[in-house]
Amino acid sequence: ETGATELFHGVKMRPGKPLGLHHLDGVPIVTLPGNPFAAIVGYYFVVRAMIETSLGANIFDTAQVDARLSADFVRRREVLEFAPVRLRTDQGSARPTATIIARGSSACLSPLVAADGLAVLGGRGKLLSAGTHVSVLKLH
């Protein structure tokens, strides 16, 4: 209806699959999913990166840490998945442990509120074993 050109709609990530990108009169328009958790993930991992790329500068205080999973995690599909985690650093360990709080529903914010960050769970295969190294975007 707006005359925007759709560049893509739907990405291989969970949550956030319905994210899309459109273009209207030289302006990029990101369409975020309707569920709050999915929209937040889309904002943190897509919109913020687009803003920084277009400005050519890091303007957000984005801290990422390398952590290891505290327990096995079975992915539902082989897509990039984001999960809210609590981080804990054991004495004598250089790398924190990431404990997945809950798989989380796209509509549920309570796991995100209790989280220290969002773990990026990708790679091949459905099983990520305890001790697997994961990147965690710390939430402020």
Judgement on whether residues 76 and 31 belong to the same structural domain of the protein: no
The boundaries of the domain holding residue 12 are: 5-55
Judgement on whether residues 116 and 73 belong to the same structural domain of the protein: yes
Residue 58's contacts (CB-CB under 8 Å, 6 or more residues apart) are 52
pLDDT in tens, 88-114: 998 777 899 999 998 756 667 888 888
Judgement on whether residues 91 and 126 belong to the same structural domain of the protein: yes
Q: Give the CATH number, domain containing residue 133.
A: 2.40.340.10
Judgement on whether residues 40 and 70 belong to the same structural domain of the protein: no
Query: Max CA-CA distance within the chain?
Result: 58
Judgement on whether residues 75 and 38 belong to the same structural domain of the protein: no
Residue 84's contacts (CB-CB under 8 Å, 6 or more residues apart) are 100, 101, 102, 104, 111, 112, 114, 115, 117, 118, 119
Total-model pTM: 0.84
Best CA proximity match to 108, nearest among 39, 37, 44, 43: 37
Judgement on whether residues 70 and 25 belong to the same structural domain of the protein: no
Residue 61's contacts (CB-CB under 8 Å, 6 or more residues apart) are 140
pLDDT tens for the chain, 140 residues: list them. Answer: 889 999 999 999 888 889 999 999 999 999 999 888 899 899 988 999 899 998 998 888 778 999 999 999 998 777 889 999 999 998 777 899 999 998 756 667 888 888 999 999 987 778 999 999 999 999 86
Pairing of strands 117-121, 64-69: unpaired
